[in-house]
Homo-oligomer: A and B are copies of this chain.
Amino acid sequence: VTPRLLVVGTGLIGTSIGLAVHGEYDVQLTDAETSRVREAAGRGAGRPWDGASVDLAVVAVPPGRTAATLMEHAGVARYLTHVASCQSAVAADLETADTTRICGGHPLAGREVSGPAGASAELFYGRPWAVCRLPGTSDEARDAVHALAVACGAQPLHLSPGDHDRAVALSSHLPQLAASALAAQLLASEAASVGISGPGLQDTTRVAASSPELWTEILAGNAAHVAPLVADLAGDLGRLADALAVLAHDPADAAARTSVEALLRRGNDGRARVPVKRGVLDRDVAVVRVRIPDRPGSLAELLAAAGGAGVNVEDLRVEHLPGRRTGVAELLVQTGQTAALSAALGGAGFEVLGGADPR
């Protein structure tokens, strides 16, 4: 028999869950705003809730309303979970409740857009999905959340609410604030100076487009873990500013140079820890760059040649350049496959540029 899933809150995450599992689950949808239920249902995420009991309810509302929304639906669902970015705050809000049938969850996926229109069945594919048992959570409730994560294509990771919150403070909340604070600095300048920029500015500020309302709630819920990290980052940057102020007067000052270079080196080491995908570190992948004629069909030929050689292209970027007849494609592949790919593309008449550089 098909299990019944109730999605409470049909924003980006809730709607994406419905899109991902409909077919495996009988998905019903509810939201404080009826128009959002209609929009999510119209996209194929499920049908409006008929009010009957379900096997699992997933509460996908902003963190501050998560615990209350869980309690409101405790009578209509056998098991309940949520998707909040902070687990301990939700657990604290539930303190006096019976949590036997409740298990925390958090898909490490998201976009800098919100609402059902941005939802996607593939949002969770290959991403970690934290499954965070509360002290009272039963094995059955935990298994129900694990199964939902698997049905979404995610990789369930079991960890405590505290361990989860410490981890995301560093890997998600701190980067958000660094990007926002950096982007905020751009307001101090004339727009023209931002035009004189390379690709680095684009990457480092992308997530600064995220929703301020949602992120204020996320950060308020995990402030105890985030605050000391932000203070550490501010301290490092403050010391860096001091060293640069010394270099402004004497560019050769050895102590100041050593201080700046040491931070850049620590940045190298930290960056080497960042997975390109889960389990794949930077050093395991390489980029093959190829010149492509800027006309319809040439990129298709390129990929056909790669496929013919049996090479799995992990990622591909192409840049069409203004006023030029050619462009450049960058294919990201496992390090061991660069030679085979280069040979195959060369054999198909493409000009391979540069070869294999770590990205």
The DSSP consensus for interface residues of chain A is: helix
Q: Would you call A178 and B196 a contact (CB within 8 A)?
A: no
Q: Would you call B261 and A212 a contact (CB within 8 A)?
A: yes
A 272-295 contacts with B by CB, 8 A? 272-279, 282, 289, 291, 295
Q: Would you call A227 and B248 a contact (CB within 8 A)?
A: yes
A 215-253 contacts with B by CB, 8 A? 215-216, 219-221, 223-224, 226-238, 240-241, 244-248, 251-252
Q: Would you call B196 and A171 a contact (CB within 8 A)?
A: yes
| With A241-B227, A247-B220, A264-B215: A120-B328 Cβ-Cβ less than 8 Å | yes
Q: Would you call A237 and B270 a contact (CB within 8 A)?
A: no
| With A289-B120, A357-B113: A201-B184 Cβ-Cβ less than 8 Å | no
Q: Does A78 contact B (CB under 8 A)?
A: no
Nearest B residue (CB) for A272: B209
In the bound complex, residues from chain B placing their C-beta under 8 Å from that of A171 are 186, 193-198, 201
Q: Would you call B320 and A314 a contact (CB within 8 A)?
A: yes
| With A118-B354, A233-B237, A267-B180: A193-B219 Cβ-Cβ less than 8 Å | no
Nearest B residue (CB) for A262: B212
Q: Would you call B268 and A209 a contact (CB within 8 A)?
A: yes
Q: Would you call A200 and B216 a contact (CB within 8 A)?
A: no
In the bound complex, residues from chain B placing their C-beta under 8 Å from that of A226 are 244
In the bound complex, residues from chain B placing their C-beta under 8 Å from that of A73 are none
A63 to chain B, nearest CB (A): 9
In the bound complex, residues from chain B placing their C-beta under 8 Å from that of A265 are 212
Per-residue contact bits, chain A 187-208, to B (CB 8 Å; 1 contact, 0 not) = 1110111111110111111111
Q: Would you call B307 and A303 a contact (CB within 8 A)?
A: no
Contact-residue size bin, chain A (C-beta under 8 Å from the other chain): 35 or more
In the bound complex, residues from chain B placing their C-beta under 8 Å from that of A229 are 185
Copies, count: 2
In the bound complex, residues from chain B placing their C-beta under 8 Å from that of A260 are 215-216, 219-220
| Complex Cα gap A202–B203 (Å) | 9
In the bound complex, residues from chain B placing their C-beta under 8 Å from that of A198 are 108-110, 127, 171-172
Which stretch, A54-62, A138-146, A162-170, touches the partner chain B?
Answer: A162-170
* Further 12 A-B residue pairs, CB within 8 A, beyond A122-B327, A277-B322: A108-B196, A122-B319, A126-B323, A170-B185, A177-B263, A182-B267, A216-B264, A220-B257, A230-B241, A231-B241, A314-B320, A315-B317
Q: Would you call A357 and B117 a contact (CB within 8 A)?
A: yes
Nearest B residue (CB) for A111: B357
Q: Would you call B184 and A267 a contact (CB within 8 A)?
A: yes
Q: Does A340 contact B (CB under 8 A)?
A: no
Q: Does A52 contact B (CB under 8 A)?
A: no
Q: Would you call A223 and B201 a contact (CB within 8 A)?
A: no
| Complex Cα gap A164–B230 (Å) | 31
A304 to chain B, nearest CB (A): 4
In the bound complex, residues from chain B placing their C-beta under 8 Å from that of A279 are 195
In the bound complex, residues from chain B placing their C-beta under 8 Å from that of A153 are 321, 323-324
In the bound complex, residues from chain B placing their C-beta under 8 Å from that of A223 are 244-248, 251
In the bound complex, residues from chain B placing their C-beta under 8 Å from that of A221 are 251
| Complex Cα gap A224–B241 (Å) | 10
In the bound complex, residues from chain B placing their C-beta under 8 Å from that of A299 are 300, 303, 313, 316
Q: Would you call B308 and A296 a contact (CB within 8 A)?
A: yes
Q: Would you call A184 and B263 a contact (CB within 8 A)?
A: yes
